[in-house]
Structure 1
């Protein structure tokens, strides 16, 4: 099972928050009265080791009414999370990036319906018509036809942004242009990069100059190196059997607009104020109201919220819902390597919450947010939101891992031995994955992928021409098949790498030694 599947599984619940009437404005008294319960719930989550650390911000009527850190930046170390602790916010980057592009639209640099091919004449995708017609609106609404996992797989084996963006043209569409919704990191990234083109600046610089600096978001960046350089930063945590551990790192620079922003609760609260004030900040117009409002328009149906049952839509980098408390805009983020984040805004109530957590899997951000809004709007909880969301996130990977482990637990009986390993060794290639080198040493095969073969995986024999690889460090017991097609001469002519085959581009053909 491939890393692209893991992205897709996480994406299935990204941004879901909470169909109903428009939300009523709420009094400051109700907003404040619910804060002690929110605080207590967050403290209990940390005390119970449900998460290592949390940072929470609540904004109401253009003021930050709650801003606090809980728990630890890294398990086993003493440093505590505070409002300035920088987290990797994963796909919460998407609405932040949509705000950056809205600023460019507001300034007349680009238009939401501007064609990518006009902004970047080198732009090409699989089919000629979408390549010529796809717009910024299409890419930020995930309706271009690009499959959701496209690009994630080759990013995971080490290819850089230019390579990933270029090779998207090799990926067949998963739906007709504008006919289907497919949540795509690479697609939104392509849109953001194109939007930056007319400025002559990198995307990272555009984000700084158009949003982060004007709002005083001094701890926010779309560069991984900036995150690593922060002294006050949260580590990623996974639980692979011994509790939360900071085992895995994640550099998301390749798809920075979609998942590579790092920020603090204090900084993101300023962005929340801008959003809830329709582009104004500290009494000044920072982004045109129309340019920003376009991001909140429901464009693509996403079906039902898996926990609340509400009907959900996608706008431009935002999820839009008409839920039990009225209209909301939101987005979540997750790295299977150890991050969970959420923002949820109720514009009619001028109320929003941000929750940052340094662990995966956990439903703590949604559980805290849904509980808080029930306390504000209803005065009591409608259900155990923490339990429901934790159950959903636990189900994302658990059953799939167990199914994969069961499928490969024992070779078929009777099993068939492998051919001499020299029959499989050699160099294989396709245009999407590039080169794969199978090398024999000490009676074992090693698979090398990516630039200069830097991504190396030892293979374990399973049955005849099938081997197993363990490609995900955050899921070390998740097997994935590597299957060889042996020709009449008794030598492998092709290899299919399962964790790179989600879009049927994982079969590589032997090339001359």
Structure 2
């Protein structure tokens, strides 16, 4: 499943580790300034290699914004320039920002909430389908922010694509097929459940809580966790996509981008992917995190809770909303990447021992550019490469690591239809209403000499193409479907309960089976 976030564990890019003696982390002021100045040349060069229309970069060092600049244009068919105040969709950088909001709500008091607070204490209606009922009682906010609830990878994303609201997605997660409790699997809506629990405990919605806890006191005037605020900004970056992109062609030459229409609207998973911010605002956030939650003499986030968020859980490389681990040269770092297939790619890296951080925001689907800029800057600033001489072509490295994100889904992807297919039954036999406890209702509608599959509150419509016998296919589209994906739909009409199995909707939950609903029900 193409993730709403392209999660990249940056520390895993190299075999270097702290055990090799490369775990320094200090940064000489001269080297940091020289590395920042080099961005003026590096960023345009790598934008030309990728075709990405717009980029904004911010660097924080020793509590100050050392560098904040924009490059390129907000949308490819215009000439409005990107600057340090241009607002970008952050995608999954939202998780780290939201973890800071959570830490801001964990400061002292007799009724304090912490990462170990059971989610059901705050959100009593939330439950997952554990075989052991006590697992729901012990599921904590931290479990959900660390992606260790047992939910399968990206559970809930397809529900969002079908138009279900946040409340509906969280309710339906109880029907997801679970991995063992405590095992790691990255999921936007599991984390969203923890944030929603905190917001409901405080009696406000998540976007308001984020603004009151973090954005307003930190002076992040252009930051919001509400899509309508982003859409209303005059100085905002539009998302861009590349037509005809594939795993084979990805990275081969500069992309020709077009403005994504409609724009990605991530309110349902706002805590996990719905923040929008400028590079200048992100500089303030990085400074706060590097200062253990302190800003201009005020403690805006609990230092212990924030440190816990930036500490890897046992046996893993993820804390609470942060990737944790050494960078490619062995320096301790925390980081996150964010990506929307529909037009955004972002990254940040913090080196706490050096009191140094960089955020890179781009307005195009992932091309490896954001992480590459951050890594190239980091090794220059920390003295791991000579000025102007990166130790690797980080753009090529990151593009290769991201190639797999563009592999189409489906066992029939790239295959030609059978030359002599078995005939279908009369199309009217397939038409009707179907239902899934997880996905809700679906309809198969007769449309002349064809069938349409209609799903979800958004009434997402797919034209079914006959493949062979009782098997049909369609081309899924949207945030979760890389170009070229194909889904099989297998009808089983001869059993006691007629049903259809939709391959695409079985990827993340093993719940792709829809049973026929009798007339009148």
Q: Please, what TM-score do these two structures have when normalized by structure 1? A: 0.91
Alignment partners' CA distance in 2, 1:441 and 1:125: 38
Aligned mate of 1:261, from 275, 278, 283: 275
Map of 1:214 onto structure 2: 217
User: Hey, what does 2:74 align to over in structure 1?
Assistant: 73
Q: How far 1:401 moved relative to its partner?
A: 5.6
Q: Does 1:191 align with 2:198?
A: no
CA distance in 2, matches of 1:57, 1:184: 28
Partner of 1:390: 399
Q: Is the 8 A contact 1:17 1:370 kept in 2?
A: no
Kept after mapping to 2: 8 A contact 1:16/1:332: no
Secondary structure of 1:267's aligned partner: helix
Q: CA contact under 8 A between 1:356 and 1:365: conserved in structure 2?
A: yes
Aligned residue for 2:517?
511
CA gap of 1:222–1:483, structure 2 versus 1, over 3 A, is same
Counterparts of 1:181 and 1:297, CA distance in 2: 15
> Are 2:372 and 1:367 equivalent residues in the alignment?
yes
Determine the C-alpha separation between the residues in 2 that align with 1:508 and 1:138. Answer: 31
1:96-175 superposed matches below 5 A: 96-108=97-109, 109-127=112-130, 128-175=133-180
Which of 343, 363, 370 is 1:358 aligned to?
Answer: 363
Equivalent residue, structure 1, for 2:250? none
Change (3 A) 1:480 1:14: farther
Deviations 1:110-129 (A, max 9, x none): 11111111112222111222
In structure 1, the partner of 2:30 is 29
- Deviations along 1:56-94, one digit per CA (max 9) or x if unpaired, are 000000011110011111111111111111111111000
Unaligned runs of 5+ in 1: 303-312
Distance 1:301 1:355, change over 3 A: farther
Alpha carbons 1:15, 1:318 under 8 Å: kept: no
Inter-partner Cα distance in structure 2 for 1:199 and 1:488: 50
The answer for the alignment partner of 1:283 in structure 2 is 297
User: Equivalent residues in 2 for 1:491-506 (5 A)?
Assistant: 493-502=498-507, 503-506=509-512
User: Which of 202, 206, 209 lines up with 1:203 in the alignment?
Assistant: 206
Other-structure match for 1:238: 241
Q: Determine which of 224, 227, 231 is the counterpart of 2:227.
A: 224
- In the other structure, the counterpart of 1:405 is 413
> Within 1, Cα distance between the matches of 2:144 and 2:410?
35
Partner residue, 2:477: 472
> 1:395 offset after TM fit, Å?
2.9
Q: Which residue of 2 aligns with 1:307?
A: none
CA gap 1:222/1:404 in 2 versus in 1, 3 angstroms: farther
Gap change, CA 1:473 and 1:194, over 3 Å in 2? closer
Q: Over residues 420-471 of structure 1, what are the superposed CA-to-partner deviations in whole Å (9 max), with x where a residue is unaligned?
A: 11011110012111111111112111111111x6211111111121111112
**Is the 1:17–1:330 Cα contact (8 Å) retained in structure 2?**
no
1:334 has 2:339 as partner:
yes
C-alpha distance in 2 between matches for 1:261 and 1:55? 16
Name the SS of the counterpart of 2:144 in structure 1: helix
**1:37: how far off?**
2.1
1:488 deviation in Å? Answer: 6.6
Structure 2 gaps of 5+ residues are 245-254
- Residues 181 and 300 in structure 1, CA contact (< 8 A), matched pair in contact too: no
Q: Distance in 2 between matches of 1:35 and 1:448?
A: 51
**In the alignment, is the contact (CA less than 8 A) between 2:432 and 2:445 conserved in 1?**
yes
Quickly say closer, same or farther: Cα 1:460–1:141, change in 2 above 3 A.
Answer: same
2:251 aligns with none
Residues 386 and 228 of structure 1: is their aligned pair in 2 closer, same or farther, counting only changes over 3 Å? same
Compute the displacement of 1:197 (Å).
2.1
1:438-453 aligned at under 5 Å gives the runs: 438-451=444-457
Query: Per-residue displacement from partner, 1:248-307 (whole Å, max 9, x unpaired)?
Result: 4211111110111111111111000000111111233222321211111110544xxxxx
Deviations 1:368-427 (A, max 9, x none): 1111111122243221111100111123214x4697532xx3223431122211011110
- TM-align CA RMSD: 2.0
- Alignment partners' CA distance in 1, 2:478 and 2:115: 39
Q: CA deviation at 1:204?
A: 1.1
Q: Summarize the alignment of residues 452-491 of structure 1 with structure 2, pairs less than 5 Å apart.
A: 454-473=459-478, 475-487=482-494
The structure 1 segments of at least 4 consecutive aligned residues displaced by more than 6 Å after TM superposition are none
Distance 1:216 1:153 in 2: 35
Cα drift, residue 246 of structure 1: 1.4
SS in 2 for 1:274: helix
CA distance in 1, matches of 2:465, 2:410: 18
Query: How far apart are the structure 1 equivalents of 2:307 and 2:518?
Result: 56
